């Protein structure tokens, strides 16, 4: 399997994603500079976290127009797997590959902390190694992770099983107290209609080794590998 990790000016979680895939999971992975326009040789493309173009204007609003995003759109349309993490999620929303918008945290504070996520749908390429209802422990690091969409969109996301992760308590209870940013319905991660594009605010690449405090991030990456090899 071949992974590509997109690098925009201002991206800074690219190295973490590369490390997990290359050194922990022994996958073929390459960095993709934001000017890249051909993704045909890749199986999965990752848009990592950071502050692309300094997040000027709005988080992800400039990166959305980078040449690589035209290629990402073509790649996704053909069924390629795409993961947007944190700033990558914001870029995907700005590009129209995912619905909704990521706004300022309701606290108006940057939040860097561990969160608990309830897996709402395990029947996807990104959650196949999880169980529905399982609680995983993944950190966040963002100032604009407050997910919002109109009521019809939220209803569709709920009804079609497109909400993959929701902020919750350690026991899996979805409460306002467990919501770190004010996201509608505690949404932490969603997929597109076709199920091949994931956007999530928490950082799975930061919790794939015990020395970092946990390994639950491996569930996402191993699920993708499993879906690609058809096992």
Catalytic (active-site) positions: 86, 203, 205
* Residue 50 DSSP code: B
Residue 67 and residue 37 in contact, taking contact as beta carbons nearer than 8 Å? yes
Using the structure block, give the residue that is written with the tokens 């997929």: 191
Residue 172, both tokens: 């899996």
Using the structure block, give the residue that is written with the tokens 């991206």: 11
Nearest to 100 by CA among 151, 43, 40, 39: 151
Give me Rg for the CA atoms of the chain: 16
Nearest to 45 by CA among 33, 57, 56: 33
Q: Where do the H-state alpha helices sit in the chain?
A: 14-19, 67-77, 87-94, 151-159, 218-229
Nearest to 82 by CA among 198, 200, 221, 227: 198
CB atoms inside a 10 Å sphere around CB 158: 13
């Amino acid at each position: 399997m071949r992974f590509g990790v997109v690098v925009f000016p201002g991206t800074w979680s690219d190295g973490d994603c590369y490390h997990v895939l290359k050194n922990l999971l022994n996958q073929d992975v390459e960095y993709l500079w934001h000017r890249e326009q051909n993704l045909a040789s890749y199986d999965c493309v990752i848009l990592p976290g950071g502050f692309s173009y300094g997040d000027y204007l709005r988080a992800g609003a400039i990166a959305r127009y980078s040449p690589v995003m035209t290629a990402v759109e073509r790649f996704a349309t053909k069924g390629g797997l795409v993961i947007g993490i944190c700033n990558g999620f914001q870029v995907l929303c700005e590009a129209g590959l995912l619905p909704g918008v990521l706004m300022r945290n309701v606290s108006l504070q940057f939040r860097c902390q561990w969160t608990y996520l309830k897996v709402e749908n395990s029947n996807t390429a990104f959650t196949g190694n999880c169980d529905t209802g399982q609680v995983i422990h993944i950190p966040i690091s963002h100032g604009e992770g407050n997910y919002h969409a109109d009521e019809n969109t939220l209803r569709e996301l709920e009804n079609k099983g497109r909400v993959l992760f929701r902020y919750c308590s350690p026991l899996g209870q979805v409460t306002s107290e467990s919501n770190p940013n004010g996201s509608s319905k505690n949404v932490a991660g969603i997929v597109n209609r076709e199920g091949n594009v994931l956007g999530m605010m928490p950082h799975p690449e930061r919790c794939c080794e015990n020395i970092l405090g946990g390994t639950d991030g491996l569930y996402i990456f191993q699920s993708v590998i499993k879906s690609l090899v058809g096992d």
